[in-house]
Structure 1
Amino acid sequence: MGFQKSFKALGDPVRREILSLLRREPMAAGDIAAHFDLSGATVSHHLAILRDAGLVLDDRQGKYIYYELNMSVVDEILEWVSTLRGEDRDEKNE
């Protein structure tokens, strides 16, 4: 996986806060937007960047779109970062 889009997406504090919100549970776009003093269009833009980077998944249910954290991509990033520290995930699980 290429990390360029993921790290660029993580560079913005609003997007990091969105990821923190989604860590707890999937949320509708409007519920996410309610946490910010930003326009709905701006929050939608941030969600699109996160989705394009693979950090969130979206699921349309009727007229709502629910977003959730894509843990497989988050795990991939964490695994790569741990290699920078000289950690081996397999050793940690033993």
Structure 2
Amino acid sequence: MSESASDIFAALAHPTRRQILQDLKPGERTAGEIAAAFSASGPTISRHLSVLRHAGLVSERRDGNRILYSLVGERLALSVGDFLSTVCPEQIVLRALRDHDRDRPDLTAAGAEGAGA
């Protein structure tokens, strides 16, 4: 597993960080808004945000004296997807078959029509 993937899985190991990611799903939030959702101290939440930033799972931007955080969902999806395809390669085959079947006409309906004729 790459160093980057290790950082991501280490970041995901703590329930507070997973909750922060969920809280950021609807959109950007300030550090204060994020911290208000937890009973932990501000410095503790700041440390969690630092771990998430280091892993590339959240980004930050300054707006005056505020820091706004947002989810980098594609990074999480790609990293977890890469890991799963490594440990569960059959999932790639199953996904390809499912996609192939979805693109084909509904053979079950055609077969049912032929059986009733």
Fold-level similarity (TM above 0.5): yes
- Partners of 1:13 and 1:56 lie apart in 2 by 16
2:95 matches 1:88: no
Letter in structure 1 aligned against 2:72 = N
Query: Higher helix share goes to which structure?
Result: 2
Q: CA deviation at 1:87?
A: 2.6
Q: CA deviation at 1:71?
A: 1.9
Letter in structure 1 aligned against 2:7 = K
Kindly indicate whether structure 1 or structure 2 has the higher relative contact order, using CA contacts under 8 Å at least 6 residues apart.
1
- Partners of 1:77 and 1:5 lie apart in 2 by 10
Which structure 1 segments of 5+ residues have no match? Answer: none
Which structure 2 segments of 5+ residues have no match? Answer: 101-117
- Asked which structure has the greater CA Rg, the reply is 2
- Partners of 1:48 and 1:25 lie apart in 2 by 18
| Superposition misfits of 4+ residues, deviation over 6 angstroms | none
Q: 1:45 aligns with which of 44, 47, 51?
A: 47
- Give the number of aligned pairs: 94
Deviates more, 1:66-75 or 1:27-36: 66-75
